[in-house]
């Protein structure tokens, strides 16, 4: 059974593709999932892609990743990254490494996007590469956990 990477997406990321395409691009979450899956398979990893508009659901999923000893979490927390102490706390409570992803360069945007409650508890951060950021996060995570490494 391949080890699983949870790819968790926060509020309004279900609207990727049509949501402010000049900021977030035209790829949908389904497009991103397809590319991630194609990249994960040869690494011996499986992708479990999810999206919720609800903070508590995202907290539940991080706990589930911890319980199931997932290989890692790739998290685009959306706006909750700027506000959620609950997500900060749950990421501290699990030992699964988390890579934080933002499609846009949040530091080049409004001041309220400059703070992240996720960054201090993330193992790595990928910001500003658009949809490609998810693939960069997967590559980094795979190297980190030794997935696909020859023995």
Report the residue number whose CB is nearest to ligand DQA: 78
Enumerate residues 33-62 that contact ligand DQA by CB under 6 A: none
Structure tokens at 18: 């049509």
Distances in whole angstroms, Cα of residue 144 to Cα of each of 21, 51, 85: 32, 24, 26
| Residue 132 binds ligand DQA, judged by CB under 6 A | no
The total number of residues written for the chain in this structure: 151
Distances in whole angstroms, Cα of residue 25 to Cα of each of 50, 117, 145: 19, 24, 30
Is 107 marked active-site? no
Binding to ligand DQA by CB under 6 A, coded x per residue (else -) over 76-115, reads: x-xx-x--------------------xxx-x------x--
Residue matched to tokens 């509020």: 11
Q: Give all strands (DSSP E) within 77-136, no chain letters.
A: 98-102, 124-127
Which residue in 88, 102, 117, 134 is the catalytic one?
Answer: 102
Smaller CB separation from ligand DQA, 47 or 74:
74
| Site residues, ligand DQA (CB under 6 A) | 12, 76, 78-79, 81, 102-104, 106, 113
């Amino acid at each position: 059974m391949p080890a699983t990477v949870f790819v968790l997406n926060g509020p309004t990321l279900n609207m990727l593709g049509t949501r402010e395409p000049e900021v977030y691009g035209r790829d949908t979450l389904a497009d991103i999932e397809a590319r991630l899956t194609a990249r994960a398979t040869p690494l011996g990893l499986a992708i479990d892609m999810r999206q919720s508009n609800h903070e508590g659901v995202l907290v539940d999923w991080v706990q589930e990743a911890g319980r199931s000893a997932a290989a890692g979490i790739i998290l685009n927390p959306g706006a909750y990254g700027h506000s959620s102490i609950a997500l900060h706390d749950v990421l501290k409570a699990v030992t699964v490494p988390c890579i934080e992803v933002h499609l846009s360069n949040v530091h080049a945007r409004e001041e309220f996007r400059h703070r992240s409650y996720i960054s201090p508890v993330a193992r790595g951060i990928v910001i500003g590469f658009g949809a490609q950021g998810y693939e960069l996060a997967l590559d980094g995570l795979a190297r980190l956990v030794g997935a696909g490494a020859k023995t």
